[in-house]
Structure 1
Amino acid sequence: MIETSEQGDVAVLTMSRGPVNALDLELLTAFPGALSDVAGAAAVVLTGAGRCFSAGVDLKRIVDGGPSYVAEFLPALSTAMLALFDHPRPVVAAVNGHALAGGCVLAAACDVRVMSGGTIGVTELAAGVPFPTVPMEIMRHAAGSAVDRLVLTAEKLPREEAYRIGLVDELTDDLVPAALARANALAAAPAEVYALAKQQLRAPAHERIAARRERDDPGVAELWSASATQERLRGFLSRLAAR
């Protein structure tokens, strides 16, 4: 589900989960271990196999699995995203195609985003599901003043607009070499100094997560599991299939 290769001192992690790298329980559960396995690498590049970086949560699994699946899935989603967000070494997202909803949050959890094609955005509100605390705070950290627009409009931004608002750091048609160059440049800093800088930069996000997670996430899980939400998701999936 997550393939690992080496490019010099950089570990390249490639999500390989079906045609659009949809986020399901198994893929998310694999993330912490995959990152732990490359802890000794100078830097990490995260990308997707095929035409998508990740099209986001596998909503069909949410509908088919019901509340019991949601109860496992949402904690795994937050754990995977925190593992990426908190990885001490440089992490570069090589966004090779659409990065939507949870896929966008995965890219946002990386230190730098390099993009070659597709669209990017958090489309949760279009599907009718709320954000757990961790993904919301990762987006707030990465998107800054643009986060209201991204979350509330659920826009799918072309890469040029994502670059303009600062969600993406570099546009390129030569994705992997550009991502590796970024990773190697970041890895030039002493490892312990880089790790501390990341901790300092992410401290406000972690403070907000600590303040809100226990209060908000039970209600988020209840909404994801609600029959009305399940019906909305079925309609959303039907509209996607009809396109």
Structure 2
Amino acid sequence: MLRMAHGPVNAMDLELCQALSERFRELADDPARAVVVTGSDRAFSAGVDLKRCTDGGDAYVAKFLPALADSFRAAFELPKPLVAAVNNHAIAGGCILAACADVVLMAEGGGKIGVPELRVGVPFPRIALEVLREAVGERGARDFVMGAQTYGPEQAAQLGLVHEVVPAAELGSRAVAAAAALAGDIPSDTFATTKAQLRRGALERTDRYRDEDELVEALWERHIGDGWVAGYLASVTRR
């Protein structure tokens, strides 16, 4: 089991994204036949550490966004079963990381999941949109992104973002069982090939539209510079 434990809400900063990329690529060659990724305490992941972005400015964003995209891709390309055990909030980048998994389980309770990135004022890199489209389809991805809402576990399951809602006390054991069931008696190379076939289109589109990431970075820099992102952070703090 891969457990994120990076600050109180596993906010995705440069260091966490780099660590996730490295670990997922190590796990590709690890003897383990399946992987469970989960969070700790208050969150699976509350998404991008926006304060680090506003404090670091353009120089930080130029390093961070490629690292964010790479962490998603490393999880999405993992050639073995991946189960996301969403223990609590999975917001924006945290939601995308969960959606990279083959199966998403979410604990009952007050956790929220979704992609409110438009409200923040910044777009996702292309890989995030492709991951979401793979998870919930073209219509679902459009509705999630343009709606910019977060959802409780039951509603997220109804919308197809979560496969199953389980009691919080059972989340870890149920996730391990789901991972084992996915691995099953299937030869690991056959699973890897089939998963790669299913995800090939999403990755090819990511590569084909790589030029979009320049615009994404420019918009992050613009709306950090003009105060939009800081305004969003302030509004969240007041709630």
User: Per the shorter chain, which TM-score range?
Assistant: over 0.9
Aligned equivalents of 2:80, 2:126: Cα separation in 1? 24
Q: Which runs of 5+ in 2 are unaligned?
A: none
1:230 deviation in Å? 4.8
Q: Which residue is 2:2 aligned to?
A: 13
- Segments of 5+ residues of structure 1 without an aligned counterpart are 1-11
Detail structure 1 runs of 4+ shifted over 3 Å in the superposition: 227-230
Match of 2:159 in 1: 165
CA contact (8 A) 1:63 1:230 kept: no
Q: Which amino acid aligns with 2:194?
A: A
> Hey, what does 1:106 align to over in structure 2?
97
Match of residue 137 from structure 1: 130
Q: Quick check: 1:85–1:109 contact (8 Å CA) kept in 2?
A: yes
Task: Name 2:237's counterpart in structure 1.
Answer: 241
Judged with a 3 Å threshold, the aligned counterparts in structure 2 of structure 1 residues 178 and 229 are, in CA distance, closer, same or farther, namely farther
Q: Structure 2 vs 1, CA of residues 230 and 185 (structure 1 numbering), >3 Å: closer, same or farther? A: farther
Distance in 2, matches of 1:90 and 1:154, equals 29
Aligned match of 1:56: 47
The letter of the residue matching 1:242 is: R
Give the number of equivalent residue pairs: 231
1:27 pairs with one of 16, 19, 42: 16
Superposition deviation, residue 140 in structure 1: 1.0
Q: CA deviation at 1:102?
A: 0.2
Task: Decide whether the 8 Å contact of 1:224 with 1:230 is kept in 2.
Answer: no
Root mean square deviation of aligned Cα: 1.2
Counterparts in 2 of 1:36 and 1:228: CA distance versus 1, 3 Å: closer
Higher relative contact order, structure no. (Cα contacts within 8 Å, ≥ 6 residues apart): 2
SS where residue 209 of structure 2 aligns?
helix
Native 8 Å contact 1:128 1:229 kept in 2: no
Pairing partner for 1:204 from 201, 206, 212? 201
Aligned-residue offset at 1:229: 5.6
> Does the aligned pair in 1 maintain the 2:224–2:230 contact within 8 Å?
no
Alignment TM-score, normalising by the size of structure 1: 0.92
Percent same amino acid at aligned positions?
46
**1:174-207 C-alpha deviation (Å, 9 max, x unpaired):** 1011101100001112100110111011011012
**1:7 maps to what in 2?**
none
Q: CA offset at residue 228 of structure 1?
A: 5.9
1:219 lines up with 2:204 in the alignment: no
Q: Which has the higher strand share?
A: 1
Tell me the equivalent position of 1:150.
144
